[in-house]
Amino acid sequence: MVKTVTILIPVAELDVKEIPMNSRTNDLNGKIVGFLWNGKPNGDFLLNRIKELLLQRFKLVRTTWEQVEALHVLAEDAQEVKRIADTSDIVVLATGD
């Protein structure tokens, strides 16, 4: 009687899309900076501290703030993400915990 061993190799094929990075700016003066928080604890503290530091260093036109209300929604479907992208030159985002 011949016994066989089946070997499984659990490696999925990758479906990687190349996404170009947005251009970077060296100067935030005259810019609108948006802050996007996913609602997790302490992410808001980090964003507020970054905001304070940016306001001390640059002459921003203004800042905007959005909080993602539904963590289960994909970023590209979240209205808050669309809104902040449309109203800001640059967006800083943070998670917490």
Q: What is the pLDDT of residue 79?
A: 80
For the chain, the domain total comes to 1
7 falls within a domain: no
Tens-place pLDDT, residues 58-86:
999 999 998 887 666 666 667 888 888 89
- The gap between the terminal CA atoms of the chain, to the nearest Å, is 57
Which residues, in sequence order, are CB contacts of 66 under 8 Å at separation 6+? 34, 35, 36, 37, 80, 81, 83, 84
20 falls within a domain: no
5 falls within a domain: no
| DSSP strand pairing (62-67 vs 90-94) | unpaired
50 falls within a domain: yes
pTM, rounded to two decimals: 0.71
Which helix H or strand E contains 87, and what residues bound it? helix 79-87
Task: Give the mean pLDDT of 4-19.
Answer: 84
